[in-house]
Amino acid sequence: MLFAFVGLPNKGKTTLFNALTRANAAVADYPFTTIDPNKGVAFASVPCPCVGKGVKCSPRNSKCVNGTRFVPVNVIDVAGLVAGAHEGRGRGNQFLTDLSNADALVCVADASGSTDSEGNNCEPGTHDPAEDVAVLESEIEYWLASVVKRNALKARGRNLAEFQQALSGISVTERVLKECLHDAGLQPKPEEWDKAQCLAFAKAVRAKTKPIVVAANKCDLPSSRAGVEKLRQLPYPLFEVSADYELALQKAKDKGMVDYDGKSVNFKNDDPKFAAALRRLKDFADSRGGTGVQALVDGVVFKVLDCIVVYPVEDEKHWTDNKGNVLPDAILLRRGATAVDLAAAIHTDLAKGFLYAVDCRTNMRLGKEHALKDGDVVKVVSNR
């Protein structure tokens, strides 16, 4: 699972990335601070089954805090996009290629309207953040159209399966190909498509494989209210966030000043030097149930990408692995994933030798086509 932070320059993408991943990617108040993409791991939050079981879990690939499991998800922060990128402007196609494997695109827009379309500072409220999203959408779809057109020309005299295979690098599967042909109203003869038809197909591909989510950043600033309302008119899920406040709270937590779990803030240190700043951070988080950053990750993973979390174990009675670790792993799968999909996510050999699985709550035996549910605790039995 991978989602990308994208958008125009100097909108706060890298600050948001740092806040989520605890990384130290370069941040500056000017365009194109990020050149090569930054990669890291963020965490989606779900109730942990350890609470219902009445045991203390021993996470390996994730963490559990007061009964909330934080499950890892890969994220990437790419360089700022400018209009004309698909024609080579800015970082051009390299930026766009960085997005090939992303499952979702989080467009970070400056809701305060204090940075223009080139990433330069301007008077707060004077730039329409909805334009940021429009540029992103257009550039990605024109880039995808160029990929489609290039491979459509190569498809002459070849079958449709080869055309699909050529587009597999941008997540076009056989199913996606059929659905996009239908959605775009196109005949399965790509070698005959003109530019407009290639663009129509590209738009369908983008919608199917790279859904857009809008992060309305800098919503701690007074001028953000009008910007948020403009962004709310767009046909994309919207999350109001403050990357600066999230990063500040994370740093305050590291220094022992506050307890912070991504949603609520409690003071631990009454140092008067920081009291006013911490009170401002706490008031903001209390009024919104956090800075919006954790809600953003959870929304992308569980609502937009429609994922579930499944917990594989080896001992169905005690919910442990072979070393006695309780609920050691939490694995993200797309809703509708089967028991054999879980086996494949653990190790390809487990899937190849799959015999059956066991629902550890009911002790029922599950076949390979059994669709798993969110929060399932499952034992996989394989001859490998």
Three-state SS sequence of 284-317: HHHHHCCCCHHHHHHHHHHHHCCEEEEEEECECC
Mean pLDDT of all residues in the chain?
Answer: 89
Mean pLDDT computed over 274-290: 91
Q: Is residue 307 over pLDDT 50? A: yes
Sequence-distant (≥ 6) Cβ neighbours of residue 212 within 8 angstroms? 104, 105, 107, 133, 136, 137, 236
- For the packed helices 13-21 and 243-254, what is the interaxial angle rounded to 10 degrees? 30
DSSP 378: E
The pLDDT, as a whole number, for residue 363 is 95
**H or E element, residue 96:** helix 93-97
Please name the residue that has the structure tokens 């390809």. Answer: 348
Q: How confident is the model at residue 239 (pLDDT cuts 50, 70, 90)?
A: very high
Mean pLDDT computed over 226-242: 96
Give the other-Cβ count within 10 Å of 260's Cβ.
21
Q: Is residue 30 over pLDDT 60? A: no
Query: Are 238 and 300 within 8 A, CB to CB?
Result: no
Give the other-Cβ count within 10 Å of 258's Cβ.
23
Q: Is residue 231 over pLDDT 60? A: yes
Domains and CATH numbers, the chain: 2-37+78-215 (1.10.8.470), 308-382 (3.10.20.30)
DSSP 90: T
Q: pLDDT of 362-378, one tens digit each? A: 999 999 999 999 999 99
Signed CA dihedral, 106, 111, 112, 118: sign only: positive
Q: Which two tokens stand for residue 160?
A: 């449709």
Give the other-Cβ count within 10 Å of 376's Cβ.
23
| Amino acid identity at 258 | V
Mean pLDDT computed over 306-330: 96
**Which 3 state secondary structure label does DSSP give 362?**
coil
Mean pLDDT computed over 221-234: 95
Q: Which two tokens stand for residue 70?
A: 């934080």
pTM score, whole prediction: 0.89
Give CA–CA dist 339/351, Å, rounded: 9
The pLDDT, as a whole number, for residue 89 is 57
Residue ranges in 107-154 assigned as alpha helix (H): 129-154
Q: Is residue 51 over pLDDT 90? A: yes
